[in-house]
């Protein structure tokens, strides 16, 4: 009996050990010093197409044995890329923001020709999805830790991260013992309520009138520079996603409203092209913007927008909207709007576009297809104020006629008496 108990205890410890075992990697720089450390667990739930226009779901996990080809370390940006299985990879990009660092985006690429993990797939392409992680404001020379489950959802792929321990910028080749914990791991305690009695006499009330506050008018920003962006499946292919626009971001905090132009110079461009979903990720010195486009095989649209950054005043923001339906056009066309447009992402974020043209699907020979113009650019847009003026004129005439008829009836009634 004792032997069985010992075996059961050993088996329980073995299972616990196996469940807690994650993927641990050490990335070294050109001087063979540790520059990036990671120990984490990731699960994937992938929806893919099978015969008969049906879909299936594959469950994958990041295995303990991976390669780090494609990982890079720099003083201001780092990339952790983990390759596994038959052409699958998971990567996360980090950048320095002052005395802190953050994860800008995660890219998961999966090979649908892997029949072991994707049985019955009608496609043999390698598909990539890019998402925004929840790793921000990590102190330099500390490890980011998050034991809690962190699910990141996408149309086709759901990723769950847990037992995460990462240091993206290792100094002096030695991993730090200091920990920056995620919000989900921090204990939530209610602050005690205190009651204090003050015996200090109240200050006398005076009738002095304070001068009115002075306000400085917000300077008008110039039209933002137009950036031209493209995504290629690989270095030897032509572009599969094209975008060209100027961009301005407006942020509201309490009663303060600030605007900032997005600078395309020095911007890092990344993303992916899929059958039904494509992503464009722009990372500048001040903000990260992720555009997600979807299509229903006939029309495409901007479906989601994720904006993270900091204004010139130092105020940080992070907003997302995954239920948009903007920039709609036929899949074989591009969408164009040269006039200024503005959209509210969330209650705090507004973005303005100038000289916009996008095509996230069906790009041929690396150039834009025929454009579908927005209403503001169309020749019919000038008719709107005319139509409004005509409608108001008819309304005034109707009111005048009604008044005259009513006045005539009242006079007739008076005379008959």
353: which strand partners?
247, 341
Residue 253 has φ and ψ, to the nearest 5°, of -130, 115
Given 3-state DSSP classes, what are the helix, strand and coil percentages for the chain, each rounded to the nearest 5? 15, 45, 40
Report domain 222-403's class: mainly beta
- Of 79-93, 266-280, 379-393, which range is least confident? 379-393
Nearest to 319 by CA among 271, 252, 223: 252
* 4: pLDDT strictly greater than 80: no
Share of the chain above pLDDT 70, in %: 82
Burial state string for 317-332 with b = 16 or more CB within 10 A and e = fewer than 16: bbbebeebebbebbbe
Kindly report the average pLDDT of the chain as a whole number.
Answer: 82
CA distance 295 to 278: 9
**Token pair of 28, please?**
């070294």
Angle at 272 between CA 338 and CA 348, to 5 degrees: 55
- Local confidence band at 400 (pLDDT 50, 70, 90 cut-offs): confident
Is residue 107 within 8 A of residue 91, CB to CB? The reply is yes
Write out pLDDT tens, residues 280-320: 999 988 889 999 999 999 999 999 998 888 877 777 888 88
* 234: pLDDT strictly greater than 70: yes
The stretch 8-32 carries a mean pLDDT of: 61
* 28: pLDDT strictly greater than 90: yes
pLDDT of residue 193: 42
3-class DSSP state for residue 392?
Answer: helix
Topology match between the domains 20-185 and 222-403: yes
**Token pair of 402, please?**
């009604």
pLDDT of residue 403: 77
**What are the structural domain ranges in the chain?**
20-185, 222-403
- What's the fold here for domain 20-185? Porin (2.40.160)
The stretch 168-195 carries a mean pLDDT of: 76
Q: Which residue has the tokens 């409004």?
A: 388
pLDDT of residue 190: 44
* 116: pLDDT strictly greater than 70: yes
């Amino acid at each position: 009996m004792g032997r069985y108990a010992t075996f059961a205890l050993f088996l329980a410890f073995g299972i616990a050990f196996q469940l807690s075992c994650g993927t641990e990697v050490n990335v070294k720089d050109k001087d063979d010093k540790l520059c990036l450390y990671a120990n984490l667990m990731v699960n994937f739930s992938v929806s893919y197409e099978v015969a008969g226009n049906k879909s299936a779901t594959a469950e994958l996990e990041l295995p303990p044995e991976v390669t780090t080809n494609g990982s890079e370390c720099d003083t201001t940006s780092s990339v952790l890329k983990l390759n596994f299985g038959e052409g699958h990879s998971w990567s996360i990009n980090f950048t320095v923001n002052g005395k802190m660092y953050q994860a800008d985006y995660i890219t998961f690429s999966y090979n649908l020709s892997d029949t072991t993990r994707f049985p019955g797939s009608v496609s043999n392409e390698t598909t990539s999805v890019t998402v925004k992680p929840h790793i921000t404001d990590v102190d330099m020379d500390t490890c980011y830790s998050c034991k809690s489950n962190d699910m990141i959802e996408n149309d086709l792929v759901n990723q769950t991260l847990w037992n995460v321990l990462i240091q993206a910028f290792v100094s002096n080749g030695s991993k730090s013992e200091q920990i920056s914990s995620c919000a989900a791991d921090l204990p939530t305690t209610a602050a005690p309520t205190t009651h204090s009695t003050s015996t200090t006499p109240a200050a006398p009330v005076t009738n002095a009138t304070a001068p009115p506050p002075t306000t400085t008018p917000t300077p008008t920003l110039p039209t933002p520079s137009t950036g031209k962006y493209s995504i290629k499946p690989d270095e030897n292919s032509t572009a599969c996603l094209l975008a060209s626009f100027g961009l301005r971001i407006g942020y509201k905090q309490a009663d303060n409203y600030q605007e900032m132009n997005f600078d395309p110079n020095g911007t890092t461009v990344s993303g992916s092209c899929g059958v039904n979903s494509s992503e464009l990720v722009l990372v500048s010195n001040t903000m990260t913007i992720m555009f997600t486009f979807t299509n229903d095989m006939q029309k495409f649209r901007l479906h989601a927008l994720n904006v993270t950054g900091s204004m010139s005043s130092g105020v940080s923001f992070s907003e997302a909207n995954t239920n948009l339906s903007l920039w709609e056009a036929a899949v074989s066309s591009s969408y164009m709007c040269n006039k200024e447009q503005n959209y509210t992402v969330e209650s705090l974020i507004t973005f303005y576009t100038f000289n916009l043209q996008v095509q996230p699907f069906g790009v041929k020979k690396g150039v834009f297809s025929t454009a579908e113009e927005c209403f503001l650019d169309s020749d019919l847009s000038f008719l709107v104020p005319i139509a409004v003026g005509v409608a108001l004129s008819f309304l005034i005439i109707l009111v005048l006629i009604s008044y005259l008829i009513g006045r005539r009836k009242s006079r007739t009634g008076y005379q008959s008496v």
